[in-house]
Structure 1
Amino acid sequence: MNRLFRALMFLVIIGGIIVGGASELLRSEIARAADPTSDEVVEFVVEPGQSVSEIAANLKRAGLIRQPLLFRLMASRQQASANLQAGTYQLTPSMTMAQIIAALQSAPSSEEVQITIIPGMRMEEVAEVMVQAGLVDDPEAFLAVARDAMPFKENHALLESIPEGQGLEGYLFPDTYRVEATATVTEVIEKILTEGFDANFSTFETEIIAEGPDGNPPTVHQIVTMASIVQREAANNEEMPHLAYIFWNRLKPEHADEVAGRLQADPTLQYALGEPGNWWPKLDELTTEEINNNTHPYNTRYIQGLPPGPIANPGLQALRAAARPGALRPDGSDGSDDLYFVAKCGEPGHAFAATLAEFQQLEQAYLNCPSR
C-alpha cells in the first residue's frame, strides 16, 4: 500500500512539473514578440466582419505574431474576440500578443476610406470616385486642385516636364488606395503620386528605349501622354508594346509621306468631345470629315505629333509599353515596319499592317465582320 501511495505521489509530482513547465512555456510564448528587435511599423488592416481566425492568420502572414492558434485562444480567454475593431492599425513586430490584442480593441482614431482608380480613367472620372468615397462633395473640389500640377512639382521630380498650365491628367496612377476620411484633396493626391506614380515609374525609369518625336529620349510627360493613348487604344495588355511602337513610328520624319506625322488615334478625339455623363463618346455617328477636320488640339487625326498632354491615367503596363515599345507583334512575328492597325473580327485585339494597301484590306475585312 505504501509503495502504491508513493508511486501515485511520484506521478502527481511529475504531472505537476509537466503542467508547470507547459504553463511556463505558454506564458513565455504569450509574452514573446514575433521579433523583439524590430520597431518597423506595419500597417495592418482589419476588415469589417473578419473573424478572429482570419485576423490571426493575417497577423501571422504580416510577421506580427508567431502562433495564430495561441492568438485565438488568448483573445477568447480575454473575451476580446467580439471586441476586435475594424480599421487600419500601426503595429510593430516587437509588440507582444497581449499588446496587439489590446491595440485591436481600440478602433483607430481616424476612419479610413478606400478609393480605386481604374486604368484608362480620365481625371473627371477620378473626381467622381472621390465624391463616391465621400472625400469631396463635388467633383470640382477635386478638379480645382488636380488641374494645376505646379504645386506638386517640388516634391515629385518626375513631374518636372509637365508644361506650365497643365494638370495631373495621366499621373493619377490607377490602383487601390486607403486614405483618411478627413484627408484633404492635396493629401490624397500626394499619396497617389508618391505610392502610385513615383513608385511605379521608377521601376523602369532607367530602361527607357523609346525615341521621342525629335529622335531623342522622350520626356516623362511625353511617355505618360503616349501611354495614355495606348491604354485607351489597346484591347489587351499583350499588344500594348507594339501599339506604342507603331505610334512612335508614325512620328518619325521618314514616315511623313505615309502618315504625315499624325497618330490618328480615335481616343484622343473622344477625349476632346467627352462631357459629363459621356466621357468617352463613340465616334460612329460622326462623318469622316467631322472626325478629320475637328481642330481641337487633342484631335490627333488633325494635329501632328503628340497632343498637349495625356488623355487618361495609364496603368503600369501601358507606361512600360510607351517607355519600351516592341517591334514584335503579339504573335512574335516581325512588325518593325508597321504603321497601321485595325480591330480584329470577333476577338479582342488588333491586326497590324506595314502598308496602306494592307491596312485597307484589313479594314474592309473588319467592316464586313458579321459580329461588328
Structure 2
Amino acid sequence: MRRFLFLLSLLFVLLILAAIFVVPLIAARLYGPPSPAIAGIQHLQYAVKILWYDTTISLPADIYGTEQNFNIALGESPYEIAIRLQEQGLILDTEAFITLLVYTGMDTGLLPGNYRLSPSLSMRSIAGTLQDTRASQVLFVILPGWRMEEVAASLPTSGLHISEVEFLAAVRTPPLGIFDVDPPTSEGFLFPDSYLLSRNLTADQLITELTLNFARHLTPEIKLGFTQQGLTVYEGVKLASIVEREAVVADEQEMIASVFLNRLRAGQKLESDPTVQYALGYDKISQSWWKNPLTYADLEVDSPYNAYLYPGLPPGPICNPSLGALEAVAFPAETPYYFFRARCDGTGLHAFAETFEEHLANACE
C-alpha cells in the first residue's frame, strides 16, 4: 500500500513537472515565444489557457461570412475590442481572443483605425490585422478647447503618420480662402470632432480636413449672428475660444458670452484668465498648457493675449472652440451682467453680477 502511494505521489510530481516544462514548450511551438510581460506562474497559466483554447483560436467564426467594417477607437482596451468582435460575430470567444493577445503580446499593439474584417478569418489572422499599420483609416479626435499644441501632442498615438513638428508647421501656414480673412494660423479653426481619416494623410491635408469641417459648421445663421453682435467671423471665433475655455458647464456658454459682449460694448477689458493661460504657454509644474491656479504675477505677463492688460479681443483665438461656443457668441443670452466668478460649491458653475460690488460679494469666504 505504501509503495502504491509512493508511486502515485511520484506520478503526481512527474505530471506537475511535465506541466511546468512541457506545456510551455508545446505552447511556444504552436504560438511562438510568450510575451516578456508574462513570466513565472503567469507564463504557465497562459500556456495552459492558450492550449485549452487552441481549437477555438484556430477556427473562424463563420467560414461563409463576409467582410464588414470594424473600428477601434483611440484608448479602447483590448477587452472592450474583444467584446465587440464577438458581438459583431467576428470571433467565437472573447476569453480565447484575450488569451491569444496576452500570450503573444499583441494586446499592446492594437492600433486605432478602421478595418475590414471577415468572420471567415481565424482569431490569429484577425489579431494580426488589428496591428497592421496599413489599416486604411484611423479615428482622430479633437476635443473642444484644445489649443494647436494639444492637437499636435495627440498625433503620436493617433495612428496618423504626421509628426508634431510637421503639424505645427502646417498650422502656421493655413489654407487660404476659406474664411472672410486669412488668419496667421489655423488656431481656432481646427474644428473639434471625431474624424475618420486616411492613415497616410499629410499634415497639410489634415489641416485642410479640419478647417473645411469648421467651414461646414459655420452656417450663414452663425455668421449673421456674429454680425448682429458687431463682430466679424474672425472676432466671433476669438470670443468663442475664450467662452469655450471659461465655461466649465456648457449650459453657461450663452451667459458667459453675454458678459464679454457687454464688456466689449462698454469699452471694458475682458479680464479673462484663459487669455493669460494662453499667453503663458506650457507650464512644466502642472504639465499642462493651461496653468492653474494663476498668480497675481501671471496676470501681469506682457502679452497682447493678456486681456487683463490689453483692451478688446486678443490677436487670435486661444483654442479651438466647439459649435456650442460659436453659437453662444452668435446667439448670446440677454443679461445685464458684466462680471462672473466660479461658485464656491465646486460644481463648475459661475455666479454672475451686474456691478463690481455684487461681484465682490460673490467671492468665497
Common fold by TM > 0.5: yes
Change (3 A) 1:209 1:120: closer
* Alpha-carbon distance, 1:109 to partner: 7.6
Matched, 1:343 2:353: no
Structure 1 residues not aligned, in runs of 5+: 1-43, 57-79, 87-106, 328-335
The TM-score, its normalising length taken from structure 2, stands at 0.62
* Alpha-carbon distance, 1:248 to partner: 1.0
Identity %: 32
Give the counterpart letter for 1:111 in structure 2. Answer: S
Distance across 2 between alignment mates of 1:161 and 1:275: 28
Distance across 2 between alignment mates of 1:203 and 1:111: 35
Task: Quote the RMSD (CA, aligned, Å).
Answer: 2.7
Give the counterpart letter for 1:153 in structure 2. Answer: L
Pick one of 318, 327, 345 that aligns with 1:320: 327
Q: How does 1:1-372 map to 2 (within 5 A)?
A: 45-47=69-71, 50-51=84-85, 54=88, 81-83=119-121, 111-136=136-161, 138-149=163-174, 152-154=175-177, 156=178, 159-163=179-183, 166-194=184-212, 196-202=213-219, 204-205=221-222, 207-208=224-225, 211=228, 217-252=230-265, 255-256=266-267, 261-275=268-282, 277-284=287-294, 286-287=295-296, 290-327=297-334, 336-346=335-345, 347-363=347-363, 366=364, 368=365
The superposition leaves residues 246-267 of structure 1 with CA deviations (integer Å, 9 ceiling, x where unpaired) of 1011011xx34xxxx2000000
Distance across 1 between alignment mates of 2:189 and 2:160: 19
* Alpha-carbon distance, 1:275 to partner: 1.6
Cα contact 1:52–1:81 (8 A) shared by 2? no
Other structure's SS at 2:154 match: helix
Other structure's SS at 1:311 match: coil
Distance across 2 between alignment mates of 1:310 and 1:344: 26
Change (3 A) 1:210 1:283: farther
Cα contact 2:280–2:301 (8 A) shared by 1? no
Structure 1 runs (4+) deviating above 6 angstroms are none
The superposition leaves residues 195-231 of structure 1 with CA deviations (integer Å, 9 ceiling, x where unpaired) of x21221127335415655xxxx311111111010000
* Alpha-carbon distance, 1:178 to partner: 1.3
Cα contact 1:204–1:320 (8 A) shared by 2? no
* Alpha-carbon distance, 1:314 to partner: 0.6
Structure 2 residues not aligned, in runs of 5+: 1-67, 73-81, 91-117, 127-131
Distance across 2 between alignment mates of 1:174 and 1:230: 15
Distance across 2 between alignment mates of 1:307 and 1:206: 20
Distance across 1 between alignment mates of 2:194 and 2:343: 32
